[in-house]
Amino acid sequence: MLFRLNEFLMAVSFALDFVEMDILGMASNHGKRTAYISISIAKEMRLSSEELHDVAALAMLHDNGLSEYSLHEKLATKELKNVALLEGVKEHCTIGERNIKNYPLLTNVKNIIKYHHERYDGTGFFNLRGEEIPLMSQIIAIADALEKTFDLQNNNHDMQNKVCEFVRNQENVSFSSRIVKAFFKVTEDKMFWMNLENGFISIALEKRIPKHSLELSFEEIHGITNVLSKIIDSKSSYTQRHSQGLSEKAAIMADFYNLEKEEKMKLIIAADLHDIGKLAVPNDVLDKPDKLSDEEFKIIMKHPEYTRLALQEIKGFEDITEWASNHHEKLNGKGYPRGMTEKELDFNSRLMTCLDIYQALTEERPYREGLSHEKAMEILKSMMENGFIDTKITKDIDYVFSKLS
Q: Which positions lie near Fe ion, rule CB under 5 A?
A: 63, 87, 144, 275, 356
Shortest distance, CB of residue 2 to Fe ion, whole angstroms?
29
In terms of CB distance, is 275 or 390 closer to Fe ion? 275
Give the contacts of 366 (CB within 8 A, at least 6 positions apart): 237, 238
DSSP 175: B
CB-CB contact of 388 with 330 (8 Å): yes
Give the phi and the psi of residue 200 in degrees, each rounded to 5: -115, -20
In terms of CB distance, is 68 or 144 closer to Fe ion? 144
How far is 12 from 113, CA to CA, in rounded Å?
A: 16
In terms of CB distance, is 7 or 126 closer to Fe ion? 126
In the bound state, the residue with its beta carbon closest to Fe ion is: 87
**Nearest C-alpha neighbor of 109 from the set 183, 178, 57:** 57
In terms of CB distance, is 17 or 356 closer to Fe ion? 356
> CB 214: neighbour CB atoms within 10 A?
15
In terms of CB distance, is 83 or 259 closer to Fe ion? 83
In terms of CB distance, is 216 or 280 closer to Fe ion? 280
CB-CB contact of 364 with 386 (8 Å): no
Question: Radius of gyration over alpha carbons of the chain, in Å?
Answer: 23
Shortest distance, CB of residue 312 to Fe ion, whole angstroms?
17
Half-sphere exposure of 76 (CA within 13 A, CB side): 22
How far is 239 from 231, CA to CA, in rounded Å?
A: 11
CA angle 92, 287, 79 (to 5 degrees): 55
Give the phi and the psi of residue 388 in degrees, each rounded to 5: -80, -45
In terms of CB distance, is 44 or 356 closer to Fe ion? 356
Shortest distance, CB of residue 330 to Fe ion, whole angstroms?
13
Shortest distance, CB of residue 92 to Fe ion, whole angstroms?
6
Shortest distance, CB of residue 208 to Fe ion, whole angstroms?
19
**Nearest C-alpha neighbor of 361 from the set 375, 350, 345, 340:** 375
Shortest distance, CB of residue 66 to Fe ion, whole angstroms?
7
How far is 398 from 128, CA to CA, in rounded Å?
A: 55
Shortest distance, CB of residue 30 to Fe ion, whole angstroms?
6
Give the phi and the psi of residue 4 in degrees, each rounded to 5: -85, 105
In terms of CB distance, is 3 or 337 closer to Fe ion? 337
Shortest distance, CB of residue 29 to Fe ion, whole angstroms?
11
Give the contacts of 157 (CB within 8 A, at least 6 positions apart): none
